[in-house]
Structure 1
Amino acid sequence: MLNCKFVNTPMECGAKLSKVKKNEEKIDSTMFKSLVGSLRYLTCAKPDILFAVGIVSCIMENPTKLHMMAAKRILRYNKGTLDYGIFYSSSNDFKLMGYCGSDFAGDLDDRKSTTDFVFFYGNNAISWCSKKQPIVFYLDSSFELV
């Protein structure tokens, strides 16, 4: 991965990963689990990869070449953003801002949604999370209450 070409996003736009299909080629799960574990550790300093790492973390059993390619794409993204990280500045603009999002039934296997959020104090990220919802929601206003 030292000489790999970097990419601009940690995950392809609109990419959907699902559990193994019968005709897909499986790979060694030990290497995949080790890579995903390292990526999860890296999210402590790089919240920009949190969503993509959360998606590949859901496929720990029977990973395929497609899953490994998605995990390696995150590494390629990191290659181009080595100088990125969390920087806490002392600006005068100390407003609390929060952003959230969801992929609305993005898991192709169980149709559950992944919700994420990030909170900023001034220009500084102070809290972030990406979590798969425990229940399936249908398209109505009840999702906003979770």
Structure 2
Amino acid sequence: MAKEYEMIVLGLMRYFLGIKVKQRKVEIFMSQEMYIDDLLKRFHMSTCKPLSTPMAVNENLSKENGVELVDASIYRSLVGSLILSYQTTNSVLAVSIVSRYMNNPSKVHSGVAKRILRYVKRTKNFGLKYESENDCKQVGFSYND
């Protein structure tokens, strides 16, 4: 490509579209740590305590949850940002549940969405690790309860 196009070598990639990239000789690790830190700042939750689960057990949400409504545009922004963040198996279901209430969100719905954000804070260092190996095998693991 260098023969066809003028190129500048900027060194190893550190960030790409909000994804933090750590490159070493034998591995590449990618996480959304920077994106999640920005997300926590935007919703004033940088100092919140992280949680180990995205939703409370037996959380029952409905359209009639809570009488007091919150600003729908802020709620949509939060839920949309959670959709764009990487998804662990646990948080996919929780985000899909809170996304059902984007038209008329109440304080209860907003509280559940913020709980998911607290869970995402706990998992912000999770990511994908690519290792170079001579003996290539595809390995996968999933934990669903």
Percent identity, please: 41
TM-score (norm 1): 0.57
| 2:74 paired residue number | 31
Task: Specify the alignment match of 1:8 in structure 2.
Answer: 52
Given that 1:20 and 1:63 are in contact with CA atoms closer than 8 Å, whether structure 2 keeps it comes out as no
With over 3 angstroms needed to count, the CA separation of the structure-2 counterparts of 1:86 and 1:14, relative to structure 1, is farther
Instruction: For 2:92 and 2:131, locate their aligned partners in 1 and report how far apart those are by CA, in whole Å.
Output: 22
Is contact 1:20–1:62 with CA below 8 Å preserved after alignment?
no
- 1:38-57 pair list within 5 angstroms: 38-42=81-85, 45-48=86-89, 49-57=91-99
Q: Which residue of 2 aligns with 1:64?
A: 106
TM-score w.r.t. the length of structure 2 is 0.58
Runs of 4+ that moved beyond 3 A: 86-94
Matched, 1:123 2:145: no
1:105-135, Cα deviation, whole Å (9 max, x unpaired) = xxxxxxxxxxxxxxxx52267xxxxxxxxxx
Higher RCO structure, 1 or 2 (CA under 8 Å, sep 6+): 2
Aligned positions of 1:78-89 closer than 5 A: 78-88=120-130
CA offsets 1:51-105 (integer angstroms, 9 cap, x no match) = 11000011111100000000000110111111112335578795xxxxxxxxxxx
Q: Which has the larger radius of gyration?
A: 2
Q: Distance in 2 between matches of 1:53 and 1:85?
A: 19
Structure 1 unaligned segments of length 5 or more: list them: 95-120, 126-146
Cα pair 1:59 1:67 within 8 Å, conserved = yes
Q: CA 1:88–1:34 in structure 2 vs 1: closer, same or farther (change >3 Å)?
A: same
Between the two proteins, the alignment pairs up a number of residues equal to 96
